[in-house]
Structure 1
Amino acid sequence: MNVFWKSAAYLYKHNCNWGGYCFEKISYLLGGNAISAKASIGEGTVFEHRGLGCVVHAKSKIGKNCIIFQSVTIGSRYKNGYWESAMPPVIEDGVIIGAGAVILGNITIGTGAHIGANAVCITDIPAYSTAVGIPAKIVKTRQIE
């Protein structure tokens, strides 16, 4: 995240929407991404490669210590001619999302899950699972002791 994105997030939090909007647009232009400053992004979460090409919905919730690679889309789902839900996904703590992955709709990606590159997630992914493919399917579940 760059200083303009952080400034926008601060201003939005303090109900200075016009200032937040201006700083957010500067961040988009300089960062090459559309990561909304209104999104809830936890401490320690990293957008690798400066979040190049990433799109994150304004109402998204991303937990702590996640790693998100380039060109990831996190947003609402459009299905059968209408928005299925105004709510985008919830990404819990410690999730790793591979390059080009798409996570859509009112779903939850569980703690410690791994989403493979270019996977398309439209259903919940349980904690400590690895999901790959289009649509994403669980290929492995890790046991945490």
Structure 2
Amino acid sequence: MSENTNRSPLTTIEAFEAGAFRVAHVSRQLLAEHPSLPVREIRPATIAFQGPATTHAKLEISTNDVDGVRAWANALGTTVSVAFYDARGVSMAFEHHEAQVTVGGVEVTVTATRHDLTEEELTAWRIAQDRTVAEGGDR
């Protein structure tokens, strides 16, 4: 039989403070260690969950371009994933570049979006997607 234990509001606040401290520490550390890497915007976040004393600490760094994401990924020893989004009905397509790594218990995500796709890139991507769908894959 499991026992349901309630956590006090103060314990939740303390867990949040610990997570916020970790995010701030990792943010300062990364900016100090990599002053030449591009940062357009930085978004630190911490969520404290009810129940067991757990927090989710996150840091999102937006760069000015996809080259910045690659530079951060290289510096942090991780890879870049690229997702392509295509809203054919409104003629809008873009690539979203993202690198993720955990540093000091903080989930760090570096992102940028590329909107200046050439017509050739867009056509090649659409042909590849149409082929995948025709073969029974996901779009």
TM-score category of the 2 structures, normalised to the smaller one: under 0.3
Larger proportion of strand: 2
| TM-score under structure 1 length normalisation | 0.26
Higher helix share: 2
Tell which structure's C-alpha radius of gyration is larger: 2
The one of the two structures with greater contact order (alpha-carbon pairs below 8 A, sep at least 6) is 2
